[in-house]
Chains A and B, each alone.
Chain A
């Protein structure tokens, strides 16, 4: 049997909620729920006391607790918010393993010797978290990370936030716990049907029998249940500090001042990455203002960020859609930039003869972007959808294309070839009349009221012209269950007297030109 490592596990209950509350600056006693796919994923203690629980539907949760603040669940935020906690623990105890955001394991031997006992080590750990403003953390110390985690979870709130299972007592501690804690739902269901309800019952089975019946995964669960968890605590390698920030005292209120002052920090940021042998392809910029607001945004780059690119992104983030001379609503106190995705520098080295053309084009287009704003220079990709303007996905130069709808799907009701060469950014109002000078319409059964005879591309009567050919209506009924995005319209194709073809749509008894075949 392998040797069992004595482990300390720190567990922050409701970590996703804690992280979200920190992020949004919400008071600790406010009722907060995180929602994932319309079900409550986690909730704060205040919300729980009102009857909100995990797995509840959002509507039911809001019914039980009317003051509930709801946020979408963001796993990235969890991990990001736990990072400072790990860094703080690494300051006082070496060798921290991240189990999942909110839970980490530490080898017990070193800290307990340094602090003069396991209990003292646990108290030091809790004090460290208290300094970070995180309350309600629990600590469990036992043989092996699994038993230690169960010990941490078995603590009650209030005074007893530490539970120490003495060396060798882990099997007895685990024995009465339910089988579901193994985290293998299929195995747990099967064992329950076999009449095995606790970890102790499972551990009492013969190791060879378990391996034969339940295979490798079952054997591993059996070892855990028996408190003979041989897993080591694998300390993480603390990541290098690659982020860079600049604080402004007194706060700066002009964009050009901020970008000028940030230039040195951007240089240091890129130099730090280069030293680490990395290049950055996505960054995250956080801007703090004097009034306490923070603005965060991720920026991507088609190749890699240089210091000038970073400064450009800071400027664009501050600028929003305004021009460079526009003032800020509140003065800037701090700008921080951190790498979001990095790559090995070797993958981005220019070839011996250079990537000439592309680089030149990128510089030229970046210049236009700095004149007009980040989203003025676009590239197009073709996505899915029925309405033409929806199909062409326009992405700012430098960002990666993320198609909301897959283009490869059939999209019944989309337009047959050829595609119109002019797709109006904003549909134009047009007039379509029958022979009797009445506006043509479609009744509720989808039948057209009369043949189309006259058409005016500007909706004014002076531009009316006879129609050479037409066809329709072709109905589009989309997302009728969703009031905000539902769409119900009829499409027509019309060729006017000059031989130009139009794609028209009839929406709520009004005619619009969606596109023109010119």
Chain B
């Protein structure tokens, strides 16, 4: 058949395909006992340790609500219930446009001095909870909340620092397109996302992403190959 002949005659699978397949293998394989992966946005997934958001884990995001929405978009579009606690400035319209389902998004903008109780209560019922903790959170409370998360299998995404987080995500070299000196309007942004895992032996993963691109989607900047993957030597392994 011509189609299979074409497949046979083509050269080794392209880099894209290899990465795609590896990502899928990683998502299916549980790296530890009893950990479950959540559906994750493909642009972010391969940067995260384990290749996906993990149920019961905590991730911390430094100073970028858009990156936080990118993390939230994956599980939310797959049907998970999400909550946002203690962030009165969360832009619901941007969330909706970035693929977060507002019908399954719950906002608790002002938990007041009951932040821990409220977060623990919503962690019981929601799959992904985004929060900005108050300035001082005692280590004991952090440990209790982490235990609760592991027990309930919920994922916590914290804006700001958080001890015992699975990975820490940050952005750098933000470059906006479309705006000049007194003309144009903001259309898209390229940014370098760096993910530092909990294990200090892991090399920080980073990639240049559109956050967002002109169609308000998240994707990798395609003309530049991700450094992280080159460094890990996957390319050579795959080809050879």
Q: Decide: B66 and A368 in contact? CB cutoff 8 A.
A: no
Interface residue A391 (Cβ < 8 Å from any Cβ of B): yes
Q: Which residues of A contact B182 (CB under 8 A)?
A: 448, 451-452, 470-472
Q: A420-438: which have CB < 8 Å to B?
A: 420-425
- The reply to whether the CB of A76 lies closer than 8 angstroms to some CB of chain B is no
Chain B residue nearest to A500 (CB atoms) is: B174
List B contacts of A493 (CB < 8 A): 179, 185-186
Residue interface mask B136-169, A partner, CB < 8 A = 1: 0000000000000000000000000000000000
Which size bracket describes the interface of B in this complex?
A: 35 or more
Considering only residues 61-119 of chain B, those with a C-beta below 8 Å from chain A are: 63-66, 68-69, 81, 88-97, 102-103, 105-112, 114, 117-118
List the B side residues contacting A421 at CB < 8 Å. Answer: 64-66, 68-69, 91, 94-95
A423 x B91 contact (CB < 8 A): yes
Please indicate which of the listed interface residues A357, A421, A493 has the most CB atoms of chain B within 10 Å of its own CB. Answer: A421
Q: Residue B21 at the A interface, CB < 8 A?
A: no
B103: A residues at CB distance < 8 A: 379
In the complex the two chains form, is A371's CB within 8 Å of B118's CB? yes
CB-nearest residue of chain A to B79: A357
- Binary contact track A357-383/B, C-beta < 8 Å → 1, others 0: 100110111011001100011111110
Known: A361-B126, A499-B173, A499-B174. A422 touches B65 (CB 8 A): yes
Decide if A501 touches B111 in the complex (CB within 8 Å). no
- Chain A interface residue count, Cβ-Cβ cutoff 8 angstroms: 50
The CA-CA distance from A397 to B125 in the complex, in Å, is: 14
Q: Does B13 contact A (CB under 8 A)?
A: no
Is the C-beta of B232 less than 8 angstroms from some C-beta in chain A? no
Q: A62 at the A/B interface (Cβ < 8 Å)?
A: no
Chain B residues with CB below 8 A from A363, complex form: 125
What residues of chain B lie closer than 8 Å to A498, measured between beta carbons?
Answer: 174
A371 touching B117 by the CB < 8 A rule? yes
**Shortest distance from the beta carbon of B155 to any chain A beta carbon, whole Å:** 16
Contacting B66 at CB < 8 Å: which of A394, A416, A517? Answer: A517
| Smallest Cβ-Cβ distance to A424: which chain B residue | B89
Task: State in angstroms the CA–CA spacing of A203 and B238 once bound together.
Answer: 97
- What residues of B have a CB within 8 angstroms of the CB of A448 in the complex? 182
Chain B: CB-nearest residue to A498: B174
When distances are taken between beta carbons in the complex, the residues of chain B under 8 Å from A422 are 65, 89-91
Q: Does A418 contact B (CB under 8 A)?
A: yes
A91 touches B (CB below 8 Å) = no
CA distance A421 to B65 in the complex (A): 6
The residues of B that contact A472 with a CB separation of less than 8 Å are: 182
Flag B174-185 by CB within 8 Å of A: 1 or 0 each.
111001111111
Contact between A392 and B108, CB atoms less than 8 A apart: no
Residues on B lying within 8 angstroms of A by beta carbon are 63-66, 68-69, 81, 88-97, 102-103, 105-112, 114, 117-118, 121-122, 124-126, 173-176, 179-189, 191, 212, 214, 216
Using a CB–CB cutoff of 8 Å, the interface residues on chain A facing chain B are: 357, 360-361, 363-365, 367-368, 371-372, 376-382, 388, 391-392, 394, 397, 416-425, 448, 451-452, 468-472, 493, 495, 498-501, 515-518
Name 20 A/B residue pairs within 8 A (Cβ), A-sorted: A364-B126, A365-B122, A378-B109, A379-B102, A379-B105, A392-B92, A392-B93, A416-B185, A416-B187, A421-B94, A423-B92, A469-B180, A471-B180, A471-B183, A493-B179, A499-B191, A501-B179, A501-B189, A517-B66, A518-B66
Q: Please give 20 more A-B residue pairs, beta carbons under 8 A apart, in addition to A420-B91, A422-B89, A500-B174.
A: A361-B81, A365-B106, A368-B118, A368-B121, A372-B111, A376-B110, A380-B105, A382-B96, A416-B187, A418-B94, A419-B93, A420-B94, A423-B90, A452-B182, A470-B181, A470-B182, A471-B180, A499-B175, A499-B176, A501-B179
